[in-house]
């Protein structure tokens, strides 16, 4: 349980840090300028941090629940499988919906796909390396 809590907190912090880097860099600001008319001027850092921590706990718990069903011979491969699964449901489906419903530059959609994949792989590898339902520390 202790490892679960620690890894959940670490993954929540990583979520927030990677999201900030992915969305606040100059390339992303240029690509996502299409959202400027509806984007908030200031981000609620406390709420955003709480949401990212919650995501960390939820995804870590989901990884543990799915562990035995995930493809892969070891934790790292299971982590990659989990990352690809979450990436599909979290990122790919969102990008496909945006592509169908809005006029968004293809470069912004491709950027979202690749940065989302990188983000999910980092978290999946973290879970795969440190979490297993068979560790009871």
Which two structure tokens, joined as six digits, stand for 21?
A: 């880097």
**Structural contact between residues 88 and 96, judged by C-beta atoms closer than 8 angstroms:** no
For the segment 57-109, what is each residue's pLDDT rounded down to a tens digit?
999 999 999 999 999 999 999 999 999 999 999 999 999 999 999 999 999 99
- pLDDT-derived band at 132 (thresholds 50, 70, 90) equals confident
**Structural contact between residues 57 and 8, judged by C-beta atoms closer than 8 angstroms:** yes
Which two structure tokens, joined as six digits, stand for 28?
A: 């992303």
Longest dimension (CA), the chain: 50
What's the whole-model pTM score?
A: 0.90
What backbone phi and psi angles, to 5 degrees, belong to 132? Answer: -155, 140
Q: For a pLDDT cut of 90, what percent of the chain falls above it?
A: 87
pLDDT at 136 (0 to 100): 55
Q: Is 114 a residue whose pLDDT tops 80?
A: yes
């Amino acid at each position: 349980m202790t490892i679960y809590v620690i890894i959940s907190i670490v993954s929540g912090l990583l979520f927030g840090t990677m999201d900030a880097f992915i969305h606040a860099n100059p390339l992303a600001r240029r690509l996502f300028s299409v959202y400027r008319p509806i984007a908030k001027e200031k981000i609620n850092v406390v709420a955003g941090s709480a949401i990212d921590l919650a995501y960390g706990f939820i995804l870590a718990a989901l990884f543990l629940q799915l562990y035995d069903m995930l493809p892969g011979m070891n934790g790292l491969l299971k982590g990659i499988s989990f990352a690809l699964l979450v990436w599909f449901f979290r990122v790919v489906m969102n990008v496909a919906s945006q592509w169908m419903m809005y006029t968004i530059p293809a470069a912004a959609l491709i950027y979202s796909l690749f940065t989302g994949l990188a983000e999910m792989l980092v978290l999946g590898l973290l879970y795969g390396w440190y979490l297993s339902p068979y560790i009871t520390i």
